[in-house]
Chains A and B, each alone.
Chain A
Amino acid sequence: MSTAPTTSSAPAADTAAVRTALSSMPRPPRPGPLSTALTFGWRGMLKIKHVPEQLLDVTITPVLFVVMFTYLFGGAIAGSTGAYLRYLLPGILVMSVVFTTVYSGVSLNTDMTKGVVERFRSLPIWRPAPLVGALLGDTLRYVLAGSVIVLLGLVLGYRPPAGPGGVLSGMVLVVVFSFGLSWVFTTVGLLLRSPGAVMNGGFMVLFPLTFLSNVFVDPTTLPGWLEAFVAVNPISHLVTATRGLMEGTATTGDVGLVLATAVGLTAVFAPLTAYLYRNRV
């Protein structure tokens, strides 16, 4: 049978070559923190390359939401599907990318159960590099997830007033916020036992946060208590700022609040993640 070449005729190690290999590589100078983190980012991208299907989960749901909400409720909510798409698209962009951040925690949790982390931790490298690198790789995921939504919007006739520049700056803002938010999920990923628990926990938090926001409807139509929640929900702030950037009506305050939230999340949860990663038994 030709299906099992690895067990019957696997080539063995060539011990003379092993000896040569061992003596032939002196230690090069240590790479800097940035270069190390970028190498880990490359690792993240390779994983996407090998299993591109993993992007489907994070793109299909938002695509369905765009199509479904636009055509099903667009007329009822905003008078026309076109007007609703203009309202909805920045929100769905936020939702789609924010959901993706949970995967950062899930993949870190999965990583921790594997022996490869032991090796990373035994290397003479900048300690947080595996974490920072993984999130840099995830950033690519965010950009991909965001691009799918924007492209779909363009196909469906979304023409934002602020033009390509507005869309681009909206996208950058969403990605920056998500970078900050993903540190929350890496912390969760190190605290919970299984990848499934991280996934469930993440979505349990994110579903109410994204639905009870201004993604789908204008909060002034909501009952007072709900409107109050929506007003303090950081996802609403992000949606307001993104929508503003795409409409050309964003204020410095809107954008500043989002950036401050991202910095705050990173400042608290990045060191916490690094601490948990370092001290994990």
Chain B
Amino acid sequence: MTVDTGLAVEATGLVKTFGATRAVDGVDLAVRRGSVYGVLGPNGAGKTTTIRMLATLLRPDTGSARVLGHDVVREADTVRGLVSLTGQLASVDEELTGRENLVLLGRLLGLTRAAARARAAELLDAFGLAEASGRLVKGYSGGMRRRLDIAASIVVTPELMFLDEPTTGLDPRSRSQVWDIVRALAAAGATILLCTQYLDEADRLADGIAVIDHGRVIAEGTPAQLKASVGSAALHVRLLDPDRRPEAERLLARALGGVHREPDAAALSAPCADAEQAADAVAGLARAGIPVAGFALGQPSLDEVFLALTGRPAEAAPGTGEETAT
């Protein structure tokens, strides 16, 4: 039974409990076909559990979800035939070579031996892994592993890709390579559901974002809408003298609106509209005779998004190990 609503993912009231923990507590999602959708939240927020329910690896306790028009519980097998999953732990076999991984998946998906080999070679070339193709994945760097992982997800073209934290733990260079790949996939028309802890990642890649916290969607919108509610930039200031932080806090609050104490006793951050406003605020500190050790203008962090949305910083939900469990 297919109900085509033009939505790639349509979830209503998804709930999943592990023991006493409500890992996912009534998540609703609507993802258009052909879009890149970001699910943004801290560790333990329920991102991975949500993705695993949508990819048919977990049964929801209550609620329902349709993926590409098919129910994830009743038509799980059909759904599995349409999606691909790149898990949080690299979903490749470390004890095989890169090439063997791709040939294995090609064979499992029904390619003939020759077609699986040809496809593996094509993907290894496209993902810059040709040179390493004969080596065991065990010896790959984090970035290479991730690229292989994504290559493995498109051995046959999926209609929907789940990417669970594709850049967590990668160095900046590998990170931007993965971003390039995701953009290329999006440009080729793939529908992607992307989980991430990084606002900048969701901002760069996604057309729509849901912010998730303690198993619930607490905000939803385009990156622009989300940033409008948070401030498009954040000013980070480090003082020379931690004792003067309360004073600086008052000044920044007056100049920029909100202000947020960072874990570092000498540091503060505050949302701001643009560089000019930030410069004025820093100049204000100097005029008041508060010595500044350094300052930076950056994108608001997930912490700041959370502060703006919930009035408290992002934190891993207590007692949940499910984000890293397999």
Contacts and interface: CB of A to CB of B under 8 A. Distances in A.
A30 B180 CA distance: 31
A14 interface: yes
B326 interface: yes
Interface in A85-141: 112-125, 129
A155 interface: no
Nearest to B185: A22
B275 interface: no
Contacts of A281: 18, 58, 322, 325
B109 interface: yes
Contacts of B95: 47, 50-51
B119 A25 contact: yes
Contacts of A21: 122-123, 126, 151, 154
A82 B77 CA distance: 59
Interface in A25-78: 25-31, 35-36, 39-40, 42-43, 46-47, 50-51
A126 to B, nearest CB: 10
Contacts of A11: 128-131
A115 B89 contact: yes
A29 B110 contact: yes
A7 B122 contact: no
Contact of B157 (A17, A25, A30): A25
Contact of A14 (B84, B126, B326): B126
Contacts of A118: 52, 57, 85, 87, 89, 91, 326
A13 B147 contact: yes
A232 interface: no
Contacts, number: 165
A277 to B, nearest CB: 12
Contacts of B157: 22-27
Interface string B30-54: 0000000000000000000000100
A124 B75 CA distance: 11
Interface string B57-93: 1100000000000000000011011011101111111
Given A31-B110, A39-B104, A113-B326, 20 more contacts: A12-B177, A14-B127, A18-B188, A22-B190, A23-B189, A25-B156, A28-B156, A31-B107, A47-B95, A51-B95, A114-B93, A114-B326, A115-B91, A116-B93, A118-B326, A120-B108, A124-B78, A124-B109, A281-B58, A281-B322
| Top 9 A-B residue pairs of the complex, sorted by shortest distance between their CB atoms | A115-B89, A17-B126, A124-B81, A11-B128, A119-B91, A15-B184, A28-B110, A122-B85, A124-B80
Interface of A: 5-7, 10-31, 35-36, 39-40, 42-43, 46-47, 50-51, 112-125, 129, 281
Interface of B: 18, 52, 55-58, 77-78, 80-81, 83-85, 87-97, 100, 104-105, 107-112, 115, 119, 122-123, 125-132, 136, 140-141, 143-144, 147, 151-152, 154-157, 177, 180-181, 183-185, 187-190, 322, 325-326
13 contacts: A10-B143, A13-B181, A18-B184, A22-B190, A23-B188, A28-B115, A31-B110, A43-B104, A116-B91, A116-B92, A116-B94, A119-B85, A119-B87
